[in-house]
A = this chain, B = another copy of it.
Amino acid sequence: MNIAIIFGGSSYEHEISIVSAITLKKVLKNSNLSFIFVDANREFYLIDANNMKSNYFSDSSYKKAKRLLLKRGAFCTYGLMGLKELNLGTVLNLIHGRDGEDGKIASLLEFNNIPYISPRVDASVLSYNKLYTKLYAESLGVKVVPYVVLNSNESRDIELEYPVIIKPVRLGSSIGVSIVKSVEELDYALDVAFEFDNQVIIEPFIDGVLEYNQAGCKTSEFELSIVEEPNKEEFLDFEKKYLDFSRDEKVEDAEISLELKTNIQDIFKKVYGRVFEGAIIRCDFFVVDGEVLLNEINPIPGSMANYLFKDFEGMVERLSSKLPKESTIKIDYSYIHSIQSAKGGKRQ
């Protein structure tokens, strides 16, 4: 299987995307891998597999690699000999955060007719923005953690039951996220969150809440991971998350009842629906008073949550042969022709 991993991006999660890509290089052992790096300035570089080391990017060595252009049908090298199209196979979008998760990379690949594993543009917008995720989930009848939205230009004089958790609506990896235990801490936490976005979402912080993650995708049928009970720290800060993105060791299935497991998997399938076809996503759930609530959708989870799947590489291959196809639109200029002939064929 030919897979081109695209990573990096103009994103706060640029560095963890590099870590994710290095991890997937280890995991996808039997595939013919290429690596497309998107640098901070959004130039594309074709990275030799031997150079897939974090230093190579942090010390700017990558700038010696071949630059690529994206055009209809292919990534291309270019130079004195003109454009040369590369046949890299299916592109796997591994850019976390901006560019990768906000729909831009999906749009670039879709527009240019390049097969790709990634949430499509609408799935990206719905999952990148935590408010839109709530609206989407609610429209499906999926329960979510209750929330309040606050814009940076609105009054902060709001009634809340503490503790609460404050998140910028549009970032992942816990960036800009704070737990606020009393009203005195509110202002500072909002300042932090508003550094990253002009809209924040405020939710009750439920100490010791039961948390479960379910990853999966749809190939010819749903392929679901084990249910993971994630690390029970207050919450993962950026540095811990960073290490989390390099995970490749298998974890154990959570010890939960079959009923709860089925419930989680049914909700996952409902959320995935048709909207997320073509993507491997992870949904994070809370269980409160026996009720399963959707917390977040990770449209491009760290190292694609590979460690949750029994046969990750096989699944990637199956998915790459079951990608959603754009509908074909035939343009035959029938309206222009009919107007032309009504006008006696004169150009207008």
Contact = CB atoms under 8 A, between A and B. Distances in A.
Interface stretch (A9-17, A228-236, A251-259): A9-17
B333 A57 contact: yes
Given A125-B121, A336-B54, A329 B108 contact: no
Interface string A337-348: 101100000011
Given A71-B69, A72-B43, A329-B40, A15 B335 contact: yes
Interface stretch (A98-106, A210-218, A287-295): A98-106
Interface stretch (A86-94, A110-118, A261-269): A110-118
Contacts of A18: 336
A122 B128 CA distance: 10
This chain's copy number in the assembly: 2
A156 interface: no
A106 B329 CA distance: 20
A155 interface: no
A222 interface: no
Nearest to A10: B329
A42 B72 contact: yes
A337 to B, nearest CB: 6
A61 B122 CA distance: 35
Query: A interface, how many residues as a size bin?
Result: 35 or more
Given A55-B348, A108-B111, A121-B121, 14 more contacts: A42-B72, A42-B113, A54-B340, A69-B69, A99-B111, A103-B103, A103-B125, A104-B121, A105-B111, A107-B111, A132-B135, A135-B138, A139-B149, A242-B335
Interface of A: 10-12, 14-16, 18, 40-43, 53-58, 69, 71-72, 78, 80, 82-83, 98-99, 102-108, 110-113, 121-122, 125-126, 128-129, 131-132, 135-136, 138-139, 149, 151, 198-199, 238-239, 242, 274, 329-331, 333-337, 339-340, 347-348
